[in-house]
């Protein structure tokens, strides 16, 4: 029986300087949903300033990566993605997060749980 997997446990990231180089989730933690058609993502974003947290998907690890969800403030929410139809909530195979550091003194804290079906 599928069960929720922690895509990213409680994580706080912060920095003094803005950067055009995003922070990307380490590859061993990417979700590989090869045999799945649906994904449910539980998102908790805590204090969030001057940065953007994106959830991205791609067919192969090299990309191209498409953003399917984006967070710029605190939130507790659930996102639903599917491979059954083309649309804004379509996911391909891999799921990962990316953090864009938009301005100086950025910070974020978040936790991501995913259930692939």
Partner 1 sequence: MANRLVQQLRTPSIGKPDSSAATGEGESTLEALLNFQPYLTLLVPATITELILACKGWIDGKDNVAYTMEAQVLHIQNVTLHVESAPDREGPWLDAIAFTATTKTMVVLSSEGGSAKFSRFIRWRAEGDGANPWEICFRLKTMPGTTLDRAVQKPRVA
Partner 2 sequence: MAGTTIELQPRIVIKCTMAGNTGEIQDVDGWVDTSRYRVATAISEVDMVDNCELDLEGCDVMGGAFMTHAAFTQALAAACVITLNRNAPYGAPEHLSNLMRWKIVASGNWTASFRITLVLK
Nearer to partner 1 by Cβ, of 23 and 89: the residue is 23
Choose which of 44, 66, 102, 115 interacts with partner 1 (CB under 8 A): 44
Strand segments (E) across 50-105: 51-58, 66-71, 75-82, 94-101
Nearer to partner 1 by Cβ, of 48 and 68: the residue is 48
Q: How far apart are the C-alpha atoms of 46 and 21, rounded to whole Å?
A: 22
Choose which of 13, 66, 92, 111 interacts with partner 2 (CB under 8 A): 13
Nearer to partner 1 by Cβ, of 6 and 67: the residue is 6
Q: Is 11 in the site for partner 2 (CB under 8 A)?
A: yes
Nearest to 47, CA basis, from 102, 111, 97, 96: 111
115 neighbors 37 (Cβ within 8 angstroms): no
Choose which of 1, 16, 34, 35 interacts with partner 2 (CB under 8 A): 16
Q: Is 27 in the site for partner 1 (CB under 8 A)?
A: yes
- φ, ψ for residue 56, nearest 5 deg: -125, 155
């Amino acid at each position: 029986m599928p069960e929720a997997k922690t895509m990213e446990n409680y994580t706080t990231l912060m920095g003094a300087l803005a950067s055009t180089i995003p922070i990307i989730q380490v590859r061993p933690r990417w979700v590989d949903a090869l045999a799945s058609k649906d994904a449910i993502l539980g998102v908790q974003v805590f204090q969030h300033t001057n940065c953007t947290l994106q959830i991205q998907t791609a067919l192969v690890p090299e990309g191209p990566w498409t953003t399917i969800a984006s967070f710029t403030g605190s939130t507790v929410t659930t996102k639903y993605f599917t491979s059954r139809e083309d649309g804004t909530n379509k996911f391909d195979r891999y799921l990962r997060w990316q953090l864009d550091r938009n301005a100086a003194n950025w910070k974020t804290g978040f936790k991501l749980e995913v259930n692939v079906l």
